[in-house]
Structure 1
């Protein structure tokens, strides 16, 4: 088998099926990554979403014992929304980060990788392969860096020369001895724009992220969001974009190569108030195909409440009082109590908070009610 020719044929085929970049890395263990991951864990920077077995994260052969090479792919996604609806008083809108626009990238990239698998099996017969997209054991970014898809930037994303960092990554472990590609030079240089722009200091150093402090992570948690992050997420419902948007290599980048990735403006920038009463069935129907729905509706609803507080949207106060009084979920009741105080209301809202204080049995919600009352007093005192 001429593996150089097979690689050339694979590259040509990958372009036909919507893969924007394909490179080949060795399947040797990622030894230097192991030390970084251990240090990351010891510092308490891990998100908890990572693959749980450290050895499997750094040794491809624990996922595929016969692995010799890893096919690394990149698929570019859009950064600008056409005909984006405006957020106006009385009709405030939230926003999903660009990584959640269009169809869930796990689905899209798995489709591309399945087609690459089928192509290779047709050419070489039965051969062992394992697909990975984000949720696999290996670090997609470490593989992409080794393969020469791009370099690992200070914001922890992979920057490609062609598409900036606005790419989704996937891997295909194979037992085939393809010729390898070379890594790219790191061109971040002395630039620290992403680190400087991080609103929480989550980028603690070049390429080092405290995931616990990252606003993207915070939007995906299910409990109460700490106060210091509520003040900073603005109207984001899922994810975060700032550390990519400020990157010079992303200036002017807007890739509209794939129909599946195109954003539906009404879903990617949805009205906030309807989200507060959306049913599980309706949420799955509308948002279930998006990457940002993976944690379910509760984090999205909590973030929508915080966004309404960010806007100080007084028209939302009746709905927030309703949630405070009757929602069965403590996180929603408590966040609504805080938001009422943040927005500022009249005697009616104060009564709602005081009534909830009398009947509420959850201690954490009681704390949020106290915050709401204190905020309300400050708001009314300053008027």
Structure 2
């Protein structure tokens, strides 16, 4: 099945996703683009009251439903306050190290639709001036946005239309290498969304019918913990498609599909996880099984929200998650291949 997966299509869609700002809570534009692409593939994506996307695909057995989830929201920030000198203090959106965004370019998005470029710096950004510049703790109180505008006061900034609560997105710094490596911010979880688009294209191009009904949920609040906290009625099982963690004693490489047996919310469903492992082996999909010690997914949110479902977690392995991330096209293709094998398999799970 991997031979029919259009990797070039997925990379092009990944570029579109990564270059569209979408910090948690600011996903209107990217959901509109995604809705149009899904329509072009021959499917319909409806938008829920919360802002998530839902795609329904009838299966051969209409008595069971498997859901897939991936999230399009990313890390980011918001304007916490405007300083008297004309810089902006930030507040986190999502969980990351402040040091990982130091010296990053960013964009401020006003509520009336204007955008302003800036740079995220410490409050003591020069070693030529501040003797403790190196030792300064990287935390939100010591970080600020320097706007690329002629501003020198709070009044100057407010005259631009910038207000407390405006969103701040980070430059993804996307690079696609000839050897297949893809490095960018926000591969968590836009690499998985690209894998799901590849799945939809494969189902459409090959006229494949899933073994059971399929519901695909694209969530917009995963990075803040409640993306898939509520699910449509009638879902029996959910596969969260999210980036695979790497590092320490975890075994996955960037070219592999990572199958998570347990994360901080507890073990994933034994039967589903075992089936995914068996399918990866029978389909010769390169994979690793790992434990993610400090991680939660949309499946975690659904279970904590009270959903009576079985749940599993897979995705392309990503190095340096929530920092300057990197994966490989092989991992994205492998994720699509494993999802396809699972959805086409008629065996009772």
- What's the TM-score once normalised by structure 2's chain length? 0.23
Higher relative contact order (CA 8 A, sep 6+): 2
- Greater Rg over alpha carbons, structure: 1
